[in-house]
Every structure is written in structure tokens, then in C-alpha cells.
């Protein structure tokens, strides 16, 4: 148990459909990150929350991507009108200024 | 973006020490150096972090150069379970963004 749970573990969707992923950190995790990782690459930053406030979002992220963290608890990442290039592992990390714990990720395949 | 440079891959024999290098010449004075590792099909796992002094924990040691432009992660006795991709990470100056590179894939030989 890493303390950060992500659901679903796998998602296959047709191009053009919307998908939503969920991340559940532990209650002590006031900070939360979303990253995206493609095969052979390191994780790429998507967005950062401190409590419920989204303080930073990657410039590379298109407006098809949106994330929320209501009440500073769980977080959701939605991708609208999915494209094949969105196929990747989506990782969530929760933590404090002492350090971060990653979840096992949601693997998205867009067909 | 904060940039780190690591060798693509390294090999080690089981039970022997491993030194994983990282160059971070653009590091700012207040940035911590973080190391994470990633096993297959898992999210990255925290290993160690430091600012200026060398650091030790139950998993590894971190040796930081005096000018802070490089660091070395030391696994004192590599095991087969240490086979993973090791990432040296800095925060992008003035932002909340932690930048991962492509990491070093460590292979441990039995």
C-alpha cells in the first residue's frame, strides 16, 4: 500500500471519447501532482495542487485536459476528446514538503 | 527547465556497491536534489534527497559535490530487487514542477 490509490488501473477508450481518472492520496497529503509517462521516458509534469488550489499547470497541456481536487482530498484528471497521442501512463503523487508517494498509475490506451 | 544528466544504463553485480552519477550544473542554491526509482509497471518510489551535505538512509546514500553541480547515489550492496530506473530530479526554479529526465536503468547481475 503506497498510500496513494489510482483508479482505474487500465482504461481503453475510443478516440474522441472523454475519460476521467481518480487519485486518492492519504489525508495528510496536502500536495498533489499529476504526471504523464510514455514508454522509455521519464514522467512529465502535468499539474500541481496544494490543498484544493491548482497552483501550476504545464504549458504543454492542451485545454482538453482538466484536473480538480475538491476540498483538497481526492483528485480527478479528465481528458476530453481523446487522441491516440494521449496513450500513456498517468501517475498521481501525493505528499508534503517532506516528500512524495506515487500511485501505481492509470494506463490509458486510445484506439 | 531544470536539467539533469544521467547515464542511460549501468550494470552491477549482486552484493557489490553501485554508484549512480547525476550532473545538474544549472541547480540553484536552494534546490534540493531528489532521487526516485521506478520498478517495472509501478510508479516512482522515493529513495533519498539532500541539499548540501551527504545524506544516508536505510535505502541508500547521497553524495553531493561541494559545488552542488553533481551528485552520486550510492547503493551499498546491490540486490536483484534494486534493478530499476533511477531518476535524479530537480525542481524547476521558481515553480512547483519537478523535472524527471530519462533516468539510469540499473541492471543487477546475479
Interface test with A, best of B43, B46, B59, B97 (most A CBs within 10 A): B43
Read off the C-alpha cell for A73: 482530498
CA-CA distance, B105 to A57, in Å (whole number)?
29
Q: What is the mean pLDDT of residues A82-91?
A: 96
The pLDDT tens digits of the residues spanning B48-90 come to: 999 998 999 988 999 999 999 999 999 999 999 999 999 999 9
The pLDDT tens digits of the residues spanning A47-79 come to: 999 999 999 999 877 899 999 999 889 999 999
CA-CA distance, B54 to A99, in Å (whole number)?
18
Q: Please tell me what DSSP assigns to residue A71.
A: G
Is A2 an interface residue toward B (CB < 8 Å)?
A: yes
CA-CA distance, B87 to B104, in Å (whole number)?
7
Residue length, chain B? Answer: 110
CA B12 from centre of chain: 16
Read off the C-alpha cell for B26: 544549472
Residue A2 pLDDT exceeds 70: no
Contact A101 B100 (CB under 8 A): no
Count of C-beta atoms within a 10 Å radius of residue A110: 19
pLDDT of B93: 76
- State the average pLDDT for chain B: 92
Amino acid at each position: 500500500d503506497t498510500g496513494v490509490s489510482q483508479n482505474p488501473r487500465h482504461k481503453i477508450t475510443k478516440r474522441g471519447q472523454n475519460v476521467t481518472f481518480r487519485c486518492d492520496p492519504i489525508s495528510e497529503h496536502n500536495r498533489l501532482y499529476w504526471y504523464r509517462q510514455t514508454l522509455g521516458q521519464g514522467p512529465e509534469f502535468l499539474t500541481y495542487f496544494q490543498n484544493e488550489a491548482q497552483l501550476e499547470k504545464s504549458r504543454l497541456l492542451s485545454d482538453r485536459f482538466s484536473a480538480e481536487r475538491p476540498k483538497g482530498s481526492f483528485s480527478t484528471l479528465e481528458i476530453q476528446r481523446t487522441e491516440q497521442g494521449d496513450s500513456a501512463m498517468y501517475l498521481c503523487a501525493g505528499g508534503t514538503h517532506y516528500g512524495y508517494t506515487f500511485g501505481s498509475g492509470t494506463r490509458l490506451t486510445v484506439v | 527547465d531544470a536539467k539533469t544528466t544521467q547515464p542511460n544504463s549501468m550494470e552491477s553485480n549482486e552484493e557489490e556497491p553501485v554508484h549512480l552519477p547525476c550532473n545538474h550544473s544549472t541547480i540553484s542554491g536552494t534546490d534540493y536534489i531528489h532521487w526516485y526509482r521506478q520498478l517495472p509497471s509501478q510508479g516512482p518510489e522515493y529513495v533519498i534527497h539532500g541539499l548540501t551535505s551527504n545524506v544516508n538512509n536505510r535505502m541508500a546514500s547521497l553524495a553531493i559535490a561541494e559545488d552542488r553541480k553533481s551528485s552520486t547515489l550510492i547503493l551499498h550492496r546491490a540486490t536483484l530487487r534494486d534493478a530499476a530506473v533511477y531518476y535524479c530530479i530537480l525542481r524547476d526554479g521558481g515553480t512547483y514542477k519537478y523535472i524527471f529526465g530519462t533516468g539510469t536503468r540499473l541492471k543487477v547481475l546475479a
